[in-house]
A and B are shown apart, each in its own frame.
Chain A
Amino acid sequence: MKKLNIFAVIVTLLFGLNATAEAQITDKPEFGKFAITGATIHTVTNGTIESGIILIDGEEIAFVGENARITNEYTRIDASGKHVYPGFIDGWSGLGLVEISAVPVTVDNAELGQFNPHMYAFTAFNPHSASIPVTRVSGVTTVLSHPSSGSIAGKAAVMDLWGYSPDSMAVKKSGALVMNLPSSSGGGWWDDRSEEEIKKQYEQNLKEINDFLDKARFYDQMMKEYESDPSDKTKPDYDPRMEAMREVLAGDVPVVISVNDEKEILDAIDWIKDNDDMNFIFEGVREGWRVAEEIAETGVPVLTTTLYTPSRDYDNYQRPYQNPGLMAQAGVKVAVVSDDIENSRNTPFEAGYAATYGMGVEEALKAVTIYPAEIFGVADRLGSLEAGKQANLFIADGDPFEPMTNIEQVFIKGYKIPMVSRHIQLYQEFLDRDAVNE
């Protein structure tokens, strides 16, 4: 009997958890041909068009411009006085991997082990996360969802925020390899290691990473040789970790390195010089403004945020807000990201701060659209309003960097998305809770 009870509890729990992750919406999207007319179109790559027309045909943007013949097969959307932007891309998020960060069974972004290049965020990305509709109705239509643990955390995926499977949502399954270099500057006030210990552990950890990469290079070489001419050769044993490194070593998948303080950034700059067979992206980079020239020289692009307190007590209060602009001015390609999970929707406000504090609106807009698209190698499909690109866009009643602006309609991959989320549904249910149907 007792056993049965426990079984019932487990079933209830599992069922309950499933229910929480159930799809949120009952409305269906529309799909087909749409003509958005009368709006100010912010193309990002080709300037702004006043009172322009966008035609959407299936998954793609068919036309962007001032004049076009709109046939009857198009559903017209009058957007006079409104603004159209390409869907914003949040280039650093845990969306889909973490449902409730304090509940470990819902956290799927940190696998055990030091070297996990064969872990794919794509695999654990939950298309039914309650946070996904909440994010997309705010105009963020695509995210880089990343794992984070160990020295090599796994592969982050570029995901569109509409669909019922990772397969249908993935823009790029291997968006980037996520890597953490050790920090030579210690962990902060709670780090009670001596300076010697810190140095020793740093060197030890770095050696492990270098050894792993050398092994991966050797494996790649061995495989290449076998593949080029298998005759008279024994096929090397398959190793999933090593195999997963091959597309990275070929330079096809960039490596994201998380660095924040000045020393970490400089250490990373040194380290990547010895690893120039790979492409790199720096993430975090909170003290990037201190070494902006040095970063610019490497040509490495940056993913960064604005809304945090200054990293050092003696820094000006504006530095975090100015950091993206200061790096951009030095010539760094900067994407502004949320570094959040359930509030990935705040990406536009992070960019708004960057815009206000030196980056300027135009560059800040690129920092959440075309730049992340370029950084992750998906600019042929995303990041601007251009004919032939995927129809990821939104209509707003004003400037999307302004928190008071309303995002009125979102399209992802041509789908006119129901503007519904848990947050909106709870609003509708509880604004006048005790009302009854007449």
Chain B
Amino acid sequence: MTKLITLCLILAFSTTAYAQEKGSVLIQNATVITVTNGDLEETDVLIRDGVIREIGKDLNAPRGVETVDATGKFVMPGIIDAHSHLNGVDINEARNPVTAEVTMEESVDPNEVGIYHALAGGATTIHLMHGSANVIGGQGETLKLRYGVSQEEMKFENAKRTIKFALGENPTRVHGQGNGVQPRTRMGVEQVVRGHFDEALDYKRKREAYLEAKAQYDRRGRGTPPVPVAENLRYEVLNDIIEGEIFVHCHSYRADEILMLMRVFNDYGIENYTFQHANEAFKVANELAKNGAMTSVFSDWWAYKFEVYYSTAYNASILNANGVVNSINSDNDQLLRTLNHEAAKVVRYGDTSVNDAIKMITLHPAIQLGIDDRVGSIEEGKHGDVVVWDGHPLSIYSKAEMTFVDGTKYFDLANDPDDMRIQINPGTDFDDGSNFRKIVDNRDEDACIQDTFILLQDQAQTHAHN
């Protein structure tokens, strides 16, 4: 056992050593699911220095480039999950309805073994999100699943900045019910958003006026110095949203709250946004399409709370048929391992084509994260984030055999040691079973309401006293 651990450690560290290098590989004779250009039979994909250089037949391997015989196999772009909390250290800063200044950037655990499990399910990129406790939550971080590197090296370079918003039951429960502050209702949620945008705009006006006056004063070196307007990170971030520098990903379920936020965003000129979960998005597919709003939904989760009771597993198909750019997400470490089959369910539930279903776990989440110029399809010039499957990836009988990120192989079914931990925690990882992870999969809680238990406990106690 000790030997095994040592071996794995060596293996893990050797991965670390090479992590920074962009890999090269020639995958030969596969059915290539390009996503944007159909399925190409008996085709090769050449990745050099992390980038897809060539797609074609009978390509020659440049000297020193490893080849993979994928005869009878399928190659698909790596799966992208637009909603994950996989390796977040903390998820919710839940003591204020607006925490735009908070970010997941420093809340990334690069050693989470779930990263490897996700790679084994064919995933290569996740959107690590703040939770849904707050109306305006923290900023997200888009990560490449380079397992065995540092926090910093996991980041998807130059990905679009994102932020989490949340409507409905979660913020009204955590803040209205739990903290006794607005919002307690969906009415309140709207005003929290509008109020903070207005304050942010006022702040910007005052701050700019001050900075100008300050500059003038500094230049002249005489007169009265202007009264300072302190820099406020929260308002800075809100202004970045209004100016389109940050994509909003909004936890939402009901059709009415989705319409509300689109109205608000139209008033402030905010354009790039995705409704997350959005179980009732199908009811307002027309309005979403008209506004260019996007959605990222579960394939079939419903009925675990009231706001998802009137929903349907046909949501994704209805959205797709009505021209809404939709992705299928996991919001769950297990579903992240099997997103290919979550996409397959979209084919069952409605008239969605196989390729459109695959788009929902590749190109569409890439669009929603502002990285579709680099990942999400197999095209020359895009990143070498690809997965070799032993059968059609939407079949229940198919397994991912190899997962490449930037042309580097991070998962290989033929070389898959049991223990893939990087960091072993003597406090929790011992052998007698006490570490058994009794998964808190209470469906009445979203995964993204993590870290708010204390607040809800407070609430339960308060109720007990009333």
- Name A residues whose Cβ lies closer than 8 Å to a Cβ of B: 20, 99-103, 130-131, 185-189, 260-264, 287, 307-318, 341-343, 345-346, 349, 352-353, 355-356, 401-406, 422-424, 426-427, 430-431, 433-434
Contacts and interface: CB of A to CB of B under 8 A. Distances in A.
B438 interface: yes
A7 B148 CA distance: 62
Given A309-B117, A431-B350, 11 more contacts: A100-B304, A102-B305, A130-B303, A262-B433, A314-B419, A341-B303, A341-B443, A349-B396, A401-B396, A404-B354, A427-B282
Nearest to B357: A404
B302 interface: yes
Contacts of B418: 314-316
A317 B120 contact: yes
A287 B438 CA distance: 12
Interface string B410-447: 00000011111100000011001111111101111100
B236 interface: no
B331 to A, nearest CB: 14
A145 B458 CA distance: 33
A434 B317 CA distance: 17
Interface in B102-123: 113-114, 116-117, 120
Interface of B: 113-114, 116-117, 120, 169, 282-283, 285-286, 300-306, 309-314, 317-318, 321, 333-334, 337-338, 341, 344-345, 347-350, 354, 394-399, 416-421, 428-429, 432-439, 441-445
Contacts of B310: 422, 426
Q: Which of A189, A341, A401, A426 has the most CB of B within 10 A?
A: A426
Nearest to A356: B397
A425 B183 CA distance: 34
Contacts of A309: 114, 117, 333-334, 337, 437, 439
B347 A403 contact: yes
B305 A101 contact: yes
Q: Which of B348, B429, B438 has the most CB of A within 10 A?
A: B438
A423 B313 CA distance: 6
Contacts, number: 169
A90 to B, nearest CB: 15
A317 B286 contact: no
Nearest to A98: B303
A426 B282 contact: yes
Q: Which of B304, B305, B437 has the most CB of A within 10 A?
A: B437
B347 A404 contact: yes
Nearest to A263: B433
B285 A430 contact: yes
B417 to A, nearest CB: 8
B435 A312 contact: yes
Contact of A313 (B300, B305, B421): B421
21 contacts: A100-B306, A101-B305, A101-B443, A101-B444, A102-B306, A130-B303, A185-B432, A307-B334, A309-B437, A309-B439, A310-B117, A313-B113, A314-B418, A314-B419, A343-B301, A352-B396, A353-B396, A355-B396, A404-B394, A427-B317, A431-B350
Contacts of B437: 188, 309, 311-313
Contact of B348 (A100, A401, A403): A403
B428 to A, nearest CB: 7
A123 B301 CA distance: 27
Contact of A405 (B116, B338, B348): B348
Contacts of B302: 342-343, 423
Q: Which 3 residue pairs are nearest across A and B when measured between Cβ atoms?
A: A102-B444, A352-B396, A427-B314
Contacts of B314: 423-424, 426-427, 431
Contacts of A346: 300
Nearest to A353: B396
A102 to B, nearest CB: 4
A434 B285 CA distance: 11
Contact of A99 (B113, B303, B337, B420): B303
A349 B348 contact: no
A330 B318 CA distance: 46
B435 A102 contact: no
